[in-house]
Structure 1
Amino acid sequence: MEKVLLLHSSSDGQTVKILRHIEQTLGEGYQCELMDLNTLPVIDFNGYQKVLIGASIRYGHLNKKLYQFIEIHQKVLEAHKVGFFCVNLTARKEGKNTPETSVYMKKFLQKSPWHPKLQAVFAGALRYPRYGWFDRMMIQFIMRLTGGETDTRKEVEYTDWDKVSQFALRFKQF
């Protein structure tokens, strides 16, 4: 049984949903443990054969706790099999949905001292009814600027689940 640590830095839960999908895709033979990276947990990485980190973008930025976590654990991250993906709404558009074309992944790689060998970018979900007033208005403004959904009564999931499954299989062979 291969032990896998699934770490998340999630704003609204889509990153966790993606990690759960990856867990299902890995299937039998894998024991996965999900942990909130934003709590800066103390982790014994030797207890895991692989680690996968998923982080969401909010207002153009990854959570600062992600960078703190990387700073604390950089040497261990470099020594283990650790994959990374980011989740954002911009990735709903072709040409902005790969590690090579995502402005957020490029920014992450410039800012982070750790450069994961296995990377992915996934589109997130738009959950207007679940947001507070301020977030709903700000996200609607951003979506208006980028040509996205602006009806605040709607929830739209942009995640390409086939792409997530393909990444899970790459992670499995990693």
Structure 2
Amino acid sequence: MAKVLFLYSSREGQTKKIIEHIATSTAGDNAVYVDLHQSPKVDLNDYERVLIGASIRYGRLSKQLYQFIETHQSQLEQAKVAFFCVNLTARKEDQGKDTPEGSVYIKTFLNKSPWKPALIGVFAGALYYPRYNLVDRFMIKLIMSLTGGETDTSKEVEYTNWEKVALFAKQFAQM
């Protein structure tokens, strides 16, 4: 089995947790993990498939993601590459915010990025109030109160739909 590259931009670890889950079910021991925040130097041609996962923080994807895309755009366009975004808005599955068509973050990404992935996923993340610093806890609580989410800062809530992640993993494996 050929190597599969799993690139991630994760702030509190939920994106990395999702990517590890997908890697376990699709690549096994042939998975190579790379943190986009480390400004990696990689050759995508060395891998059979590539998956990029990135989280939203305060309404934005990381600048490291966009820098990676800019640096590797030609390889991204030629390789078998999928992308997924993790955000708390995607917890509103009944409103379609967990789909590429219904996610404002994916729409913004596609407008801003020169690369257009063939396979895109959108997953709800997790809320880790006790792990946040005081400012982040306050800001995220404010955002959650405005959007009808959890505001009890003593709680950690995982919104990720693991069945949806498993379906995406199958689609990625078939690329």
After TM superposition, the score normalised by the length of structure 2 is 0.97
Please report how far the alpha carbon of residue 10 of structure 1 lies from its aligned counterpart in structure 2 after TM superposition: 0.8
* Other-structure match for 2:77: 78
Separation of aligned partners in 2, 1:141 and 1:57: 16
Distance in 2 (CA, whole Å) between partners of 1:90 and 1:101 is 10
Distance in 1 between residues matched to 2:62 and 2:74, nearest whole Å: 20
Counterparts of 1:6-155 in structure 2 under 5 Å? 6-26=6-26, 28=28, 31-94=30-93, 95-155=96-156
Q: Distance in 1 between matches of 2:106 and 2:37?
A: 19
Offset at 1:86? Answer: 0.3
Gaps of 5+ in 1: none
Q: 1:39 offset after TM fit, Å?
A: 1.7
Unaligned runs of 5+ in 2: none
- CA distance in 2 between counterparts of 1:24 and 1:3 reads 13
Tell me how far apart the structure 2 counterparts of residues 27 and 171 of structure 1 sit (CA, whole Å): 10
* Residues in 2 aligned to 1:56 and 1:15: alpha-carbon distance in whole angstroms: 6
Question: One-letter code of the match for 2:17?
Answer: K
The 2-side partners of 1:15 and 1:92 are apart by: 14
CA contact (8 A) 2:45 2:75 kept: no
Q: What letter matches 2:11 in structure 1?
A: S
Partner-residue secondary structure (3-state), 1:148: coil
Q: Tell me by how many angstroms 1:115 deviates.
A: 0.4
Instruction: Kindly report the root-mean-square deviation, in angstroms, between the aligned alpha carbons of the 2 structures.
Output: 0.9
Following TM superposition, where does structure 1 have runs of at least 4 consecutive aligned residues deviating by more than 3 angstroms? none
Residue by residue over 1:43-91, the C-alpha shift from the partner in whole angstroms, topping out at 9 and shown as x without a partner, is: 0222100000000000000001111110010000001000000000000
- SS of the equivalent of 1:2 reads coil
Whether 1:3 aligns to 2:6 is no
Which amino acid in 2 is paired with 1:123? A
- What secondary structure sits across from 2:30 in the alignment? strand
- Sequence identity (%): 63
Structure showing the higher strand proportion among its residues: 1
| Residue type at the aligned position of 1:165 | A
Q: Aligned letter for 2:33? A: L
C-alpha distance in structure 2 between counterparts of 1:86 and 1:99, whole Å: 9
The alignment partner of 2:83 has SS state of: strand
**Partner amino acid, structure 2, of 1:112:** S
